[in-house]
Amino acid sequence: MTTPPTWQELRDAGVVVFDEPEYGLAIYPTTIGMVYIAIRTTTGDLHRVGVSAGNVGGVANFLAAAEARAIAAREVLHEQESAIAAHHLIQRAKGPA
């Protein structure tokens, strides 16, 4: 068994998806038909989850569906915030009751 790559090795290999000071995400293949998702935490720990190559499409589908739900939820939140702001504006315009 080989030693998993370090975060710097993942950076050097160009497989880091994002690399923020607080966290990072990398996705990389192995020679045994696995795709690993590596997450770097605020403490610098590196957690890995292996996905067999045959399941990558399913994971991608779940990610796309989760993204769509997150976008929809964000839009609902913005609509609610806009409605509340409009209500407060109307109340201020009416003045004291």
In contact, 51 and 41? CB cutoff 8 Å: no
* Number of domains forming the structure of the chain: 1
- Domain range for 15 is 7-94
pLDDT digits (tens, 9 = 90+) for 18-41: 999 899 999 999 988 899 999 999
Is 2 contained in some domain? no
Q: How far apart are CA 45 and CA 14, in angstroms?
A: 19
Indicate whether 86 belongs to any domain: yes
Asked whether residue 82 is domain-assigned, the answer is: yes
pTM equals: 0.71
Q: Where are the beta strands (DSSP E) in the chain?
A: 16-19, 24-29, 34-40, 46-52
Residue 47 is assigned to a structural domain of this protein: yes
pLDDT tens for residues 57-80?
999 999 899 999 999 988 888 788
Q: Does 1 map to a domain?
A: no
CATH of the domain at 20: 3.10.450
* Residue 64 included in any domain: yes
